[in-house]
């Protein structure tokens, strides 16, 4: 028999004595659903929708909510808003704060949900869940949800450079692989599309059975080369912008060196790694090393229940670009900084496992290296055994 849960004899009502109007925004391309809980209205949540992107209508609705509360209670109460981090970015949050509204952006994955197999999901239910999460957060309940700290527009714009370069590099790999695949099917194995003489070399190619390249195949490869060369020009332009940004930070005369300049002084860290670390991670303020590792998704995820106690690996809940970059940098760190304390730690750990589990050890090294680099740029703590480029 299934256990029947008896209803509570003394149901706990939602507190509405926080003297504020709590509002959640469910954002979509066509409509914005506004769910609100106002003082003096009991536990009833009102819902109203406006056209997506109509900020004027949104602010007008907030004013109407304040006027209704004023007519019921004769009190002036502020509006506290919450929305999920998503496709709309942070511009709505900036508009609300500019108009004197207390606004929060929440990580949607941090809100507790039902674990039933078939879970109902509608904008109405999501809006109510956001209001309840906002209420718990304002009450001071621990770990009720995780609020996102929106970056300022300058930092948000600067990180576009490295992100665009990553997209262009991925497209370049696709075109190179497609050209090589087309030629490999004809018996050509030694053609390199990225070499300077790629077009002249294409004219001299023959198939594996001695025929000239087929006419339509050659035309397709030429069009692929046109797109590839456009990508090479755009990658060079993006890298020039990145180098100019790093040079501007390095040439700035201040008492404390810029993080980018400090990172570039370490052997094994080039302009791309320095730019990603600064624009994706070190532009933020962290209180401790746990926050640094958690932001990159490199924090451990324990599983404990009774006598069961094991680690599930890193959480991967964080900035994926920063996490990927740190794992790549960790492999290069072993090559360029073999005498550092971190490299010795990695070698000893792998040796103790009989040469196995290098991948899990490199992830642990990435977490340690990220924390060490954060201490270096934030507090000037030099990494033990690290070699600088000047030396």
Q: Which of 150, 176, 195 is the last residue of a domain?
A: 150
Digits of tens for pLDDT over the chain (391 positions)? Answer: 434 444 444 444 445 457 899 999 999 999 999 999 988 777 788 999 999 999 999 999 999 999 998 988 888 899 999 999 989 999 999 999 999 999 999 998 888 887 777 778 888 888 899 999 999 999 888 888 889 989 889 889 999 999 999 999 999 999 999 999 999 999 999 999 999 999 999 999 999 999 999 999 999 999 999 999 999 999 999 999 999 988 887 766 555 668 888 999 999 999 999 999 999 999 888 999 999 999 999 988 888 888 888 888 888 888 999 999 999 999 999 999 999 999 999 999 999 888 888 888 999 999 999 999 999 999 989 899 999 987 5
Looking at the fold, whether 172 and 129 belong to one and the same domain comes out as no
Cα(192)–Cα(96) distance, rounded to whole angstroms?
53
288 with 333, same domain?
A: yes
Same domain, 268 and 164: no
Q: Quote the pLDDT of residue 16.
A: 44
Residue 385 inside a domain? The answer is no
Q: How many domains does the chain have?
A: 3
Residues 236 and 334 grouped into a single domain? no
Report the distance separating Cα 169 and Cα 175, nearest Å: 10
pLDDT of residue 23: 95
Residue 16 in domain: no
Supply φ then ψ for residue 26, to 5 degrees: -100, 110
**For residue 53, is it within any domain?**
yes
Domain assignment of residue 390, yes or no: no
Question: Do 212 and 138 share a structural domain?
Answer: no
**pLDDT tens by residue, 116-129:** 777 788 888 888 99
Which of 230, 251, 272 corresponds to the end of one domain? 251
Q: Is residue 2 part of a domain?
A: no
Q: Considering the domain boundaries, does residue 9 fall inside one?
A: no
- Rounded CA-CA distance 57/233 in Å is 44
Residues 164 and 282 in one domain: no
In a domain, 188, yes or no: yes
Based on the fold, state whether residues 34 and 141 are members of the same structural domain.
yes
| Residue 12, domain member (yes or no) | no
pTM, entire model: 0.82
The pLDDT of residue 252: 62
Q: Are residues 86 and 131 in the same domain?
A: yes
SS (H, E, C) the chain: CCCCCCCCCCCCCCCCCCCCEEEEEEECCCEEEEEEECCCCCCCCEEEEEECCCHHHHHHHHHHHHHHHHHHHCCCCCEEEEEECCCCCCHHHHHHHHCCCEEEEECHHHCCCCCCCCCCCCHHHHHHHHHHHHHHHHHCCCCCCCEECCCCHHHHHHCHHHHHHHHHHHHHHHHHHHHHHHHHCCCCCCCCCCCCCHHHHHHCCECCCCCECCHHHHHHHHHHHHHHHHHHHHHHHHHHHHHHHHHHHHHCCCCCCCHHHHHHCECCCCHHHHHHHHHHHHCCCCCCHHHHHHHCCCCEEEEEECCEEEEEEECCCCCHHHHHHHHHHHHHHHHHCCCCHHHHHHHHHHHHCCCCCHHHHHHHHHHHHHHHHHHHHHHCCCCCCCCECCC
pLDDT given for residue 17 in this prediction: 58
Residue ending a domain, choose from 232, 251, 270: 251
Are residue 290 and residue 218 in the same domain, yes or no?
no
The pLDDT value given to residue 116: 78
Same domain? For 301 and 371 the reply is: yes
Q: What is the CATH number of the domain that holds 132?
A: 3.30.420
Q: Are residues 292 and 372 in the same domain?
A: yes
The domain in which residue 105 lies consists of 21-150
Together in a domain, 265 and 217:
no
């Amino acid at each position: 028999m299934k256990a029947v849960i008896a209803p509570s004899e003394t149901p706990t009502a939602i507190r509405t004595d926080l003297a504020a109007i709590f509002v959640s925004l469910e954002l979509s391309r066509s409509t914005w659903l506004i769910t609100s809980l106002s003082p003096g209205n009991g536990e009833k949540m009102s819902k109203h929708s406006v056209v997506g992107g109509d900020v004027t209508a949104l602010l007008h609705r907030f004013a109407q909510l304040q006027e209704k509360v004023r007519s019921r209670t004769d009190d002036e109460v502020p509006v506290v808003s919450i929305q999920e981090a998503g496709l709309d970015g942070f511009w709505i949050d900036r508009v609300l704060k500019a108009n004197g509204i207390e606004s929060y952006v929440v990580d949607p994955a941090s809100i507790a949900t039902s674990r039933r197999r078939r879970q109902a999901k509608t904008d109405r239910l999501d809006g109510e869940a956001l209001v309840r999460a906002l209420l718990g957060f304002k009450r001071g309940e621990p770990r009720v949800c995780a609020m996102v700290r929106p970056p300022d527009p300058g930092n948000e714009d600067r990180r576009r450079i490295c992100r665009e370069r990553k997209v262009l590099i991925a497209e370049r790999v696709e075109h190179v692989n497609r050209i090589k695949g087309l030629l490999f099917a004809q018996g050509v194995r030694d053609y390199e599309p990225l070499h300077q003489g790629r077009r002249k070399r294409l004219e001299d190619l023959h198939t594996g059975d001695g025929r000239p390249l087929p006419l339509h195949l050659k035309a397709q490869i030429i069009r692929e080369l046109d797109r590839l060369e456009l990508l090479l020009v755009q990658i060079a332009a993006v890298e020039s912008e990145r180098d100019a940004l790093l040079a501007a930070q390095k040439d700035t005369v201040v008492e404390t060196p810029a993080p980018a300049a400090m990172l570039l002084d370490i052997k094994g860290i080039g302009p791309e790694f320095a730019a990603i670390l600064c624009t994706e991670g070190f532009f933020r303020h962290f209180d401790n090393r746990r926050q640094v590792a958690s932001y990159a998704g490199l924090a451990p995820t324990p599983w404990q229940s009774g006598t069961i106690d094991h680690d599930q690996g890193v959480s991967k809940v964080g900035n994926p670009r920063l996490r990927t970059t740190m794992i790549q940098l960790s492999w290069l760190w072993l090559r360029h900084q073999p005498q550092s304390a971190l490299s010795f730690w990695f070698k000893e750990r792998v040796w103790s496992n009989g040469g196995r589990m290098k991948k899990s050890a490199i992830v642990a090294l990435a977490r340690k290296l990220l924390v060490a680099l954060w201490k270096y740029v934030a507090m000037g703590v030099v990494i033990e055994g690290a070699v600088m480029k000047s030396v």
